[in-house]
Amino acid sequence: MNLYLIRHGDAQADKPDEICSLTPEGLRSVGKTAAWITKSAERPEIILSSPLKRALETADFFAKGWGVRIEQVEWLHAGVEPSVVIEELKKRGEQNIALVGHLPNLGLLMGVLLWGLPPKEIVLPKASVSYLTFIEIKPGAARLRWLITPDLI
């Protein structure tokens, strides 16, 4: 399986969590990252996104660039345990998946997939994309192939 972990861009701090949008800087940095990644990296079969507005806005940039659909999933909300995400991914039939979400859960998920348990959070930069590969989705089985931030593009 190949897995993209995409953290949303900078978001409004003055709105309730459920409705805060990307800021102009967040839109710019996500657009920059998505434009580069979708031209350079293998296209996933699907984008799974947190249902929160800032994640969906981020996912939309990647969906347009790759030409794939977005599916909202509740198990990508901030605070969901990595074990829940791993179990949900095991149920999927796709072999190339992009996840769009939040900290701390994306960083904890990445830590568990790379290093196993107990979870150690990786603080992923906003609008960054990580690419992991593994044969079996389980703690400690992934290999980090690359991590791109807007500053590197």
pLDDT tens-place string over residues 142-153: 999 999 999 998
For residue 49, the 8-state DSSP code is E
- pLDDT surpassing 90 at residue 56: yes
Amino acid identity at 114: L
**What is the end-to-end Cα distance of the chain in Å, rounded?**
26
pLDDT of 14 reads 85
pLDDT of 79 reads 87
pLDDT tens-place string over residues 2-19: 999 999 999 998 888 788
Contact between 43 and 66 (Cβ < 8 Å):
yes
pLDDT tens-place string over residues 77-133: 988 999 999 999 999 999 999 999 999 999 999 999 999 999 899 999 999 999 999
The mean predicted confidence, pLDDT, of the chain is: 96
Helix intervals (H) in the chain: 24-40, 53-66, 82-90, 105-115
Contact between 123 and 137 (Cβ < 8 Å):
no
Mean pLDDT on 44-72: 98
pLDDT of 16 reads 80
- Residues 140 and 153: their CA atoms lie apart, in Å, by 29
Residues listed for the chain: 153
Nearest to 66 by CA among 47, 94, 92: 47
pLDDT of 127 reads 98
Per CATH, the homologous superfamily of domain 2-152 is Phosphoglycerate mutase-like (3.40.50.1240)
Nearest to 69 by CA among 36, 98, 27: 98
pLDDT of 2 reads 97
Nearest to 30 by CA among 57, 52, 53, 5: 57
Angle CA 150–58–115, to nearest 5: 70
Contact between 150 and 32 (Cβ < 8 Å):
yes
pLDDT of 54 reads 97
pLDDT of 86 reads 97
